[in-house]
């Protein structure tokens, strides 16, 4: 039996991922633009020739959000990749997700494969190994090391630069402060919309230090060389579980409040937007010039207005200045060559 046959069933989850209510103002106006910038920056780092084909493997592709992010124009920007330049392969362990994606995306540029990144990768060379929706958090840390090792080995075998986007759940989010001391725990997707029942399964959560160590372990023996590494936080203070309070009942309902600010500001009491930074997240030196900058949970937003970082390429093995990725979502973009 393959791993995809053993994977937890997401039956009914497609209703959530296709529900119009899922794309609330926070997702449309904040989360999706951040993800687009990550993807565009990863592709730009490859220095592909203008108009050349782009091959993408989307790991944990679900109902094809990654394809939409690549090819759908934003309100203020053209598509990242034109469909006629794109060869997109979506890989997912869930048969319903794969079937839904095939039915939803009618483009000859896209194909969808049932499979698990821990098994053999789909055939072909890819410029971008994409992930959206934190698929890598479903794996244990050892499984992630092995999966990324397989991806990086494929990059090395190709002999050309490729970009890898590693999307995981950030450990030190205010949404689950009571669980900061635990790396892997049962994560209830109680935010599901559109009629899908809540799904709960173990997920792994990462701070910047843990994610860097995992990537470094995957690199060892792969034959690939890391050219640059960037960490970006996507849902700063407005992750979906700030709306549910499932893991931290006392957390202010920031996602709901921000959505209401967009829809009808008169519904929001300014006092409800006050936030007292939590304590308890680890402190560490985040760059050679930093004397011990606070990480998430110790008011890093007082420095930058948020925990997001601009995608500045950095030397192999060196984190960017004052960059600690501990937010609710932490896509890490890495370019690697043989």
Range 199-224 average pLDDT: 95
- Domain 3-311+325-337 annotated CATH 3.40.50.300: no
| pLDDT of amino acid 281 | 80
188, 301, 253, 74: CA torsion to nearest 10: -80
| pLDDT of amino acid 14 | 58
Q: In what helix (H) or strand (E) does residue 54 lie, and over which residues does it extend?
A: strand 54-59
pLDDT score of 313 more than 70: no
pLDDT score of 298 more than 60: no
Rounded to the nearest integer, the mean pLDDT of the chain is 82
Range 66-81 average pLDDT: 95
For the chain, the structural domain boundaries read 3-311+325-337
pLDDT band for 23, please (50, 70, 90 cuts).
confident
Least-confidence region, from 91-105, 178-192, 224-238, 278-292: 278-292
pLDDT score of 334 more than 50: yes
């Amino acid at each position: 039996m393959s791993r995809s046959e053993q994977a937890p069933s997401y039956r009914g989850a497609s209703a959530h991922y296709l529900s119009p209510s899922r794309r609330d103002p926070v997702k449309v106006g904040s989360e999706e633009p951040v993800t687009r910038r990550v993807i565009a920056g990863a592709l730009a780092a490859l220095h592909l020739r203008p108009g050349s084909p782009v091959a993408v493997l989307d790991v944990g592709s679900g109902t094809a959000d990654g394809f939409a992010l690549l090819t759908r124009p934003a309100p203020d920007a053209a598509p990242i990749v034109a469909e006629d330049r794109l060869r997109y392969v979506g890989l997912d362990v869930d048969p319903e997700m794969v079937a839904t994606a095939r039915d939803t995306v009618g483009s000859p540029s896209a194909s969808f494969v049932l499979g698990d990144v821990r098994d053999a990768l789909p055939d072909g060379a890819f410029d971008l190994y994409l992930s959206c929706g934190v698929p890598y958090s479903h794996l244990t840390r050892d499984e992630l090391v092995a999966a990324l090792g397989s991806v990086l080995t494929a990059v090395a075998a190709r002999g050309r630069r490729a970009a890898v986007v590693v999307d995981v759940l950030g450990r030190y989010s205010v949404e689950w402060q009571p669980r900061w001391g635990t790396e892997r725990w049962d994560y209830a997707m109680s935010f599901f919309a559109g009629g899908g029942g809540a799904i709960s399964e173990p997920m792994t959560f990462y701070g910047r230090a843990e994610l860097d160590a995992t990537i470094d372990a995957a690199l060892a023996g792969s034959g690939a060389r890391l050219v640059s590494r960037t960490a970006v936080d996507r849902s700063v203070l407005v992750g979906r579980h700030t709306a549910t309070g499932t893991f931290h009942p006392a957390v202010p309902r920031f996602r709901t409040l921000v959505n209401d600010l967009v829809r009808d500001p008169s519904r929001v009491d300014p006092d409800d937007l006050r936030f007292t930074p939590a304590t308890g997240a680890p402190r560490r030196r985040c760059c050679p010039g930093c004397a011990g900058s606070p990480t998430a949970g110790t008011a890093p937003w007082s420095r930058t207005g948020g925990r997001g970082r601009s995608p500045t390429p950095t030397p192999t093995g060196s984190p960017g200045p004052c960059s600690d990725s501990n937010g609710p979502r932490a896509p890490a973009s890495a370019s690697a060559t043989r």
